[in-house]
Structure 1
Amino acid sequence: MRQIVLDTETTGLNPRSGDRIIEIGCVEIVNRRLTGNNFHVYINPERDSEEGALAVHGLTTEFLSDKPKFAGIADELRDYVRGAEVIIHNAPFDLAFLDAEFERLGLPRFKEHIESVTDTLVQAKELHPGKRNSLDALCDRYGISNAHRVLHGALLDAELLAEVYLAMTRGQNSLTIDLAVDQPAADAEQIVATAPVEEMIVLAADEAELAEHAALLDKLDKEVKGACIWRAEPAPAN
């Protein structure tokens, strides 16, 4: 399964009023493992960031002035996310900005290029009703260090969200990053061959343990008013 954890930074809060995307960060997960095949780009929004947004991400107009415009990275982004499940925290926010950028270019909406969208904010609210479920709060809840997160950054936030997502969905609090080429898995016969039967240690029950087991069976017989199935004699060996 290929999943892409995505985050954006923007010039403000409302794409309808002309706010634009200035940064996109994506982290690829395949079969619940980070692959290192990330996507990260800064974008020239052709406008200034609002004061409140600038305080959050710290990406100045001067810094972004020589970065590509969204039209210059749109095809690369679409190719990267194509057919994947995309995981976003508070998905309606990011999707609204992505759709606005695609609309400017006459392209179909973002969802039409991918398999599906998973909103981790919705998941978190279902798992932790009535509690704070921001990315920072979830990092604290699942023991994921975000001490290096002074300002918001799309790639850093996507990396943190990947850890949060795996923690929420399978209780895994850390990730194994495997950048090496996977080796072919050993087949069943090879695995069995590595554990010779003669090396297996079998511990037989002693007299006290057998007596305790018999007492337990007697108790079960009394409760069911009959003989429990564990009284059955094993079939003789051939």
Structure 2
Amino acid sequence: MPTTTTTRATMSTAPTPAADAALLQLIWLASPALPVGGFSYSEGLEAAVDHGRVHDEASAAEWLSHQLRITLARADLAVVGEAVQAWRNQDLDRIAALNDWVLHTRETAELRLQAEQMGRSMLEWLKSLGRAVPGAREGGSTMPLTYPLAFAFAASGTLAAPRQAMLAFAFGWAENMGQAAIKAVPLGQGSGQRILMRLAAEIPPAVDAALALAPGERQSFAPMLAILSARHETQYSRLFRS
């Protein structure tokens, strides 16, 4: 039976209400049920299926794993991590620069529209909860606030560390992409969960890689993804908007 000392020590290291609240807020932000439209995009996966590059569970898992490490970690995750702190510091010039970088590195029209639409929807959702949100031209930017910056803004209102916000952003992406694979390949729910399990294991090192990037090392260079996304814009039959 545990001693009183042990019990008190355990209680002293228990999560605080503030830590619990931060965790729950991040889970909320990562939820695929969040009304930002993430379910309507496949980010080129549907075109990869149409061209035979993705055709089963293994190839879908490999495609998304590569996308996580090659594009998400080197671009959006790095932006989210930096933007969370920039929002807290009210560094609006830095926010504007990061937002412009996201828009300028979207290689196709539909990928840019996704970033804009999901960012706009995130801000509308925050407004519906009564939270004051920044304008689209905040900090001198003349461009719409994109999803990575809008997500970072939402996360900056919690007590979560930037790394935790990045983990939530990546897991939300993984859930949406897993569901896109289920619909597009198509796959069963079990396959979708195995893909999500693989991605969940790869997310922490991807986030750490993103954190290690200097601002000048960020990049969004994935030629095959860009080609497939461009082809998807005129694909004959489509389930997804990207």
- Alignment TM-score, normalising by the size of structure 1: 0.21
Q: Which structure has more helix as a fraction of its residues?
A: 2
Q: Over alpha carbons, which structure has the higher Rg?
A: 1
Q: Which structure has more strand as a fraction of its residues?
A: 1
- Alignment TM-score, normalising by the size of structure 2: 0.21
